[in-house]
Amino acid sequence: MNETDTLEILKKLVDVHAPSGFEDSIRPLMISELEKYADEIKVDPLGNVIGIKWGSNLKGPKVMLSAHMDEVGLIVKHITDDGFIYFEKLGMMDDRILLARKVRIHTKNGSIQGVIGVKPKHLLSPDELARSVSFRDMWIDIGAQNRREAEEMGVLPGDPVTFEGELQTLNRDNFVVGRALDNRLGCTALIQTMKELSNENNDATMYAVATVMEEVGGRGAKVAASVINPDLAVALDVTHGIDPGVTAKWSAIQLGDGPGIRLMDIHEPTLLGCTTPVWLKNLILSVAKEEDIPYQIDILSGTFLDSSTIHLAGKGIPSIGILIPRRNGHTPVEIACLSDLRNSIRLISALIRNLTPNNIAKFRGRSN
């Protein structure tokens, strides 16, 4: 595995701005990277990119590897007569991280810069100081004097908005920081896994799927899974790495200790989530141990993955997540460890090599 190549791909992906529902800008890049190693590329009506690498065994299993292309962002809702812009959120994020952020509005005339305005502390009342500010009380300032000027700059309701924050190495080359690591890390793992296996003859047929609209409910993945109807699926995504704000009662996942293997998750407000079948858990843990690949067990509430909708498609699809730890989730300053990304690619590749009909039958028998 070429480590420099992996970092370069991640940087290219992070440089592209593509919030949920607006993946048109990143789709060509995913196609150009996947088609180097896939036997066939398709784009479904919802916009998912599907790269297929045929297995050598006609009776071999079909595996769907899913990594979502979209990132959290905002969408223009209304422009005031004074030229200020109100917005809605695309995906889950803490309102507190929005204040005073630099943003980019993607208009028909190209992207323009703006900032999310904030009332100066000098003018805040004691009541305002004591409470959090809702995103509905925030606005984007693009330096327009009025609505006409904003519209002349190209801004219209429905335009997507993303955060600024290019990819940078953080003190040590093994750590990176930037926006949209959720889930450009998973997309990088998807591409590099296809590259790793491109010259191999494995039993399994791989469907490398770059999905749309995961951050708003795993929508694209369910559509793709319904079309592919795989025998099993792996969601390539990120998880919460422990830090002073994410204590052990929420997560025990450490950056640098290997990918997380997600066995259960649930997002309580929507009940989206997935529980991994015992046989699939046993199979992937066996592969990790045999290949001496570090891993961490990940069980988490308050969240969901593409696997949350994939496993419900068709007649039911056994699903699991292989996740790259990162800190500061859904902010423009997400932090991750490149060794975790590399070990994720190793683990996914090893799993594909072990997906033979006999091996699957053996592990399925253990859970009966």
Q: Give the active site residue among 214, 215, 290, 334.
A: 214
Which residues in 44-167 belong to E strands, given as ranges?
49-53, 62-68, 73-79, 85-90, 102-107, 110-116, 140-141, 160-163
First CA to last CA distance, the chain? 37
3-state helix, strand, coil split of the chain in percent (to 5) is 30, 30, 40
Tokens coding 348 = 């996914």
- Annotated active-site residue 200? The verdict is no
Give me 134's structure tokens. 């809702």
**Residues ≥6 apart with Cβ < 8 Å to 131:** none
Residues in contact with 327: Cβ distance below 8 Å, sequence separation at least 6, in sequence order: 240, 241, 243, 246, 255, 334, 335, 336
Identify which of 177, 162, 305 has the alpha carbon closest to the alpha carbon of residue 238: 305
DSSP secondary structure letter of residue 173: E
- Supply the residues annotated as catalytic: 214
